[in-house]
Structure 1
Amino acid sequence: MIMRHLVGALALGALVTLTGPVSAQETIRLRIASGHPPVNTYVNLMQNFFVPEVTKRVAAKTKYKVEFVEGYGGAMVKVADTLEGVQSGIIDIGGYCFCFEPSNLPLHAFQVMLPFGTMDPVASVKIAREVYDQVPFMSKVFEDKYRQKLIALIADNGYNLGTNFEWNNVADLKGQKLAGAGLNLKWLEYAGATPVQSSLPEAYTAMQTGVYNGWIMFPSGWVNFKLYEVGKFYTEIGFGAITWHGLTINKARWDKLPKEVQDIILEVAKEYEAMTGTVNQANYPKQLDELKAKGTNVRKLPDSVQADWAKSLAAWPKEKAKELDAQGLPATQVLEATLAAAEKHGHKWPVRYSIK
């Protein structure tokens, strides 16, 4: 009997030696990056919510362990190269603005094509999600053309106009060099300003040296990049809170992940998407107060000024829809769906755009 137990124990010991410790976890390494630094709300949430939550939940709920290699602020990819970085597999997961992909993702700036939309980022991301759900092309194009999977949409805070000069009406902007990113340059063009393409990492120096005199920007950008030092005026004109960033993962890498890890990533990504709305919403008044404390002249112009600007842009959404329709994109469908979704969420347009 003793011999039989001894043999059994030796056999079990040999099995453990061959297979390794029962509690051992297989490690999955994922490279996650953004061209923007963590002072940007969405990157901060990548670093401080998405990464730790995926790590924690995978460890707790599966036999796997996820280790993230993080690279923000251009350490791995620049702001305009993130889509390509995910596509090529240089990084596995990327957070980026579709504004820097006007050729690859021309329709994904659809909320920009309807200026003076909701200023509520919570509503903005819900509206965008409804449009993506109604129009499958919006998600499928990432997989079909760019070898990546869209796992979360990202809301920005409400866009206004920061400048180094005071202005009171649209006519005051005529000829002024003002910066934007991608399609929102059209907002400036129709107002008579001189639009300049730019990105936040270069904004301070460009404002300081007179490359341009203002920026279409949400208040967090004005605070976090210290633009209040070179632009003392921040005017609430209410262009809208735009959802035109996304979080994507390389499709080949995704397909190799265990199903239970995929499920956790999607679960956390859904929560992350909602948080880009709620965190931005909570931060907006705080950031305006901070700008005031820094000596910035923060003010809100009368609704009539917004209406005048909107009137100057009234024909543009229809023109843009026709242009993109001609490229085989479902632009009219997307813009019509956006108008309807925004109104369902209670938004009233200063000018009701006609798309068809």
Structure 2
Amino acid sequence: MKTGKILVISLFVFTALLTFMALPISSTAADVIEIKANAFHPIGHRLYDDAFPLYSEQIQKRTNGKVKFTWFPGHTLIPQAKTYDGLKSGICDWAYIITAHNPNEFVLTNALNLPFAARNSAHAARILWEMSKDIPELKAEYKKVVPLFWYSTAPQHVHTKPGIEPKTLEDLAKLRIGGPGPIHVKFMSSLGAAGQQVAPGDLYTALQRGMVDGVIFPEAPLRSQGLTEITSYHLMLAIGVDVFAAVMNKNSWKKLPPDVQKVFLDMSESMGALCGATITNESAWVIEELKQRGDIFYYLPDDERERMIQKLQPFYDEWYKLMAERGMDGKAMLKKIREIAAWALKNPYQPDDWWGRAGRKE
């Protein structure tokens, strides 16, 4: 009987310890608030090396040591596709999510995923921040979390093997193009190519074995994925970006003292801009390196771009429908977003003192 009672008590204590260890936000005896931050980019990614550490260091400095980040890179805490649900459930305090993974929840945000919505990641970050100020419906999409800032991937381009140099819709119609996600396959299929979904880590092999003729992919990670070794021609479509939103768990946010919350909010615009600038600059460095070795970069003339926009009209029609279902006028909203985009192009965010090399143009 005593053994049974001891076993029950032991199990209760063990469960309580596990529950305590799993609590996302915590404080030490010195009242240091630990923020568990989920980052699905791996160690070695430009953002993980040159943006996120600077961000957490600045927050720690500006809160006089009250806050300390613990980073979990490369899916070590939550799988990429489950990040939003994991954050809401309290597995972590802070995370950045791909809004396209929840297309019915972030409809307005995903306007930036539409073809040709942003020139680059820095441009997208600027647009999204201004949208968050000028369009209240944007922040309303984040009622289940606390939004902090936004940025995006670099735009998607088509990269092909030597001897394959598409310039028009007719050229693309002859090719098999691999893409890492369903949206990329839909882009290529809409432009007449044979789109094939291929996991990012398998794109190199698919090209090498002749399974595809090219890939649709941002230029920034071409080098890290090894794709620079097997491609030499680049059709610069800038066809679309994937939006990231940096958000916090609502309960974790409520536990932060008001002065700490203010530091996070004060840092938000600059941090979104840093992420955008870092990705944009990495893209520029990759392009410069490839041009120096003799790669060909082809930029669409206006008339061919217009032809492609017409082919991609169904993406806009689908988005208009989703907006209408939520009581919003998609065409009027897109007009406003394009006005913000035009302003943002002429008024880029200027680097802040705390940024590192990767956020600055050199």
TM-score w.r.t. length of structure 2: 0.75
2:136 paired residue number: 136
Distance 1:243 1:167, change over 3 A: closer
Equivalent-residue separation in structure 2 for 1:109 and 1:59 (angstroms): 37
Moved more, 251-260 or 203-212: 203-212
The CA deviation at 1:181 is 3.4
TM-score w.r.t. length of structure 1: 0.77
The CA deviation at 1:249 is 0.8
CA deviation profile, 1:185-206 (whole Å, cap 9, x unmatched) = 4422220123344554554445
Equivalent-residue separation in structure 1 for 2:202 and 2:34 (angstroms): 32
CA deviation profile, 1:66-95 (whole Å, cap 9, x unmatched) = 222211121112221211121111111112
Matches within 5 A, 1:1-356: 25-59=30-64, 64=66, 66-113=67-114, 115-143=115-143, 147-164=144-161, 165-174=164-173, 176-181=176-181, 183-197=183-197, 200-208=200-208, 212-239=212-239, 242=241, 244-293=243-292, 296-314=295-313, 316-317=315-316, 319-328=317-326, 330=328, 332=330, 333-345=332-344
Asked whether the equivalents of residues 121 and 157 of structure 1 are also in contact (C-alpha less than 8 Å), the reply is yes
Equivalent-residue separation in structure 2 for 1:308 and 1:141 (angstroms): 33
Unaligned stretches of 5+ residues in structure 2: 1-28, 347-362
The CA deviation at 1:142 is 2.1
CA deviation profile, 1:271-320 (whole Å, cap 9, x unmatched) = 11111233334333221022345664444344443232123224642x12
Asked whether the equivalents of residues 35 and 80 of structure 1 are also in contact (C-alpha less than 8 Å), the reply is no
Asked whether the equivalents of residues 99 and 244 of structure 2 are also in contact (C-alpha less than 8 Å), the reply is yes
Asked whether the equivalents of residues 55 and 271 of structure 2 are also in contact (C-alpha less than 8 Å), the reply is yes
For 2:109, the aligned partner's letter is H
Moved more, 326-335 or 160-169: 326-335
Distance 1:321 1:299, change over 3 A: closer
Distance 1:29 1:223, change over 3 A: same
Asked whether the equivalents of residues 167 and 298 of structure 2 are also in contact (C-alpha less than 8 Å), the reply is no
Please provide the CA RMSD for this pair: 2.9
Asked whether the equivalents of residues 63 and 263 of structure 2 are also in contact (C-alpha less than 8 Å), the reply is yes
Aligned to 2:239, what secondary structure does the other structure show? strand
CA deviation profile, 1:191-249 (whole Å, cap 9, x unmatched) = 01233445545544454455644333221121222212243332222325x36111111
Asked whether the equivalents of residues 291 and 298 of structure 1 are also in contact (C-alpha less than 8 Å), the reply is no
CA deviation profile, 1:89-135 (whole Å, cap 9, x unmatched) = 1111112322333344344221222x224424333322222223333
Asked whether the equivalents of residues 97 and 246 of structure 1 are also in contact (C-alpha less than 8 Å), the reply is yes
Distance 1:294 1:329, change over 3 A: farther
Moved more, 47-56 or 205-214: 205-214
Moved more, 333-342 or 206-215: 206-215
Number of matched pairs: 314
Aligned to 2:334, what secondary structure does the other structure show? helix
Asked whether the equivalents of residues 122 and 151 of structure 2 are also in contact (C-alpha less than 8 Å), the reply is no
For 2:62, the aligned partner's letter is R
The CA deviation at 1:39 is 4.4
Q: Report the identity percentage.
A: 20
For 2:85, the aligned partner's letter is E
Distance 1:45 1:320, change over 3 A: farther
Q: Which has the larger radius of gyration?
A: 1
